[in-house]
Structure 1
Amino acid sequence: MRYLISYKRLIWLLVFACFFWLMLRITIRYIPAQSDVSFLQIKQTEVIGVKGYLLVFYIHVYSAIFVLLAGFTQFNSHILAKYPKIHRSLGYLYTGTVLVLAAPSGIFIGWFANGGLTAKISFVLLGLLWFWFTIKSILLILKRNVKGHQSFMYRSFALATSAITLRLWKVILVYLFHPAPIDVYQIIAWLGWIPNLLIAEWIIKNKTTQ
């Protein structure tokens, strides 16, 4: 049993390392902040024509890595059992960053997403659900509903990881099918987060039936 626990921890650490490395690579592209680097090269209409777009975009990009770092620790049973204060502090960091910075900025820039109305709706919905799941998790833990809190944190973090998964899906789709750019954006807008949420629901159901 001890070996099984160690094996699960190793897998968790490897997943975290992979996700963190990918997120770090994305973030580094935008340091120092510029108006025409990487993804912003195809968003010049918004950068020039939408007041505050560039600032909100960088708030979203820079806050995402803190969300990922803090979020991964929230599901570590060892930290929760041995270091509850660290769990609580990083929980404050995660929820505060999501509610104040990451989710609101994601909703804003989501409305200007490539891919037309289909993609816009998806990204705005993603941001709204992310905000709601996160604040719901806080309300539940304040009522000392630990299971409910954990369930909504799983849902919240599933949406947080969409920053990585939508880029992975983009690489897969382009490599396998070579679709038109607008089709790619419309597909990954939904594919980037719905499977994540379904996985979270499976984990929640699995835990409640154990």
Structure 2
Amino acid sequence: MFKKAKLSILNGFWLLIFAYSCLLMAEITYRYRGFGLDANFLMIKQTEIEELWWYRYVFYTHVATAILALPAGFTQFNSYLLHKYPKLHRSIGYLYVASILVFAAPSGIVIGLVANGGLISIIAFELLGIAWFYFTWRAIDLAIKKRFDEHRNFMLRSFALTCSALTLRFWKVTLVFLFHPNPMDIYQIIAWLGWVPNLLFVEYIIKKKRDL
């Protein structure tokens, strides 16, 4: 009884953290509502905007679709929704997969080619985009083949990378507050910290579940 109550409190705590993080992401995304060329992050990407005609379009495609993946992906791990409303579970799952495979991951890979921080950052963001695409595609492929345990594992991996949008900003705020690093140096660090620890944590969860 006590163990179940403790687990419920812990789950509720993480739900609140995630909900608050999603609200922050929504607020950041809202700043781009006017599709301005000097909004928020784009203020430091004026060179790309002026020299690369496609950058603004790919950037806004990424911003508009990546935000959909966060709440859509989170609902996929709700066992109540899965068992009580399987059709809704699948519909939201298709939204999650489509937003990543068709728009968010490809656009992320493209804009990652000119990421701040030079080659170190570019490699990190390219690996992130490719892995995000592959894990998501593999998850839907396994679901079609009805290999649901493997499907769930790849969805966990995919969602860990989806959450890099949150963890990247968390690490940026934390490192800037603690160490006041050079602006370009911070991108080289958070480009890796934003997703590698997430993936390692999920791999630990998957391994622990297999060992049970």
- Give the alignment's TM-score, normalised by structure 1: 0.96
How big is the shift at 1:4?
4.8
| Alignment correspondent of 2:175 | 173
Q: Distance in 1 between matches of 2:7 and 2:75?
A: 16
Which residue in 2 is equivalent to 1:104?
106
1:1-210 counterparts in 2 under 5 A? 1=1, 3-4=5-6, 6-210=8-212
Q: Shift in Å at residue 22 of structure 1?
A: 1.7
Amino acid at match of 1:76: N
Secondary structure, aligned partner of 2:26: helix
Task: Look up the SS of the partner of 1:169 in the other structure.
Answer: helix
Equivalent residue pairs, number:
210
How far did residue 207 of structure 1 move? 2.1
Runs of 4+ residues over 3 Å off in structure 1: 1-6
Q: C-alpha distance in 2, partners of 1:97/1:7?
A: 32
Q: Indicate how the Cα distance of structure 1 residues 192 and 179 shifts in structure 2: closer, same or farther if over 3 A, else same.
A: same
The structural deviation recorded for 1:206 is 2.2
Deviates more, 1:112-121 or 1:10-19: 10-19
Q: Secondary structure at the match of 2:59?
A: helix
Q: Structure 2-normalised TM-score?
A: 0.95
* Structure 2 segments unaligned to the other structure (5+ residues): none
**Amino acid corresponding to residue 193 of structure 2 in structure 1:** L
- Specify the code of the residue in structure 2 equivalent to 1:99: L
Q: Which moved more, 1:126-135 or 1:9-18?
A: 9-18
Q: Which blocks of at least 5 consecutive residues in structure 1 are unaligned?
A: none
CA distance in 2, matches of 1:192, 1:72: 18
SS of the residue aligned with 2:35? coil
Displacement of 1:12 in angstroms is: 4.0
After TM superposition, give the deviation of residue 63 of structure 1 in Å: 0.7
CA-based RMSD: 1.3
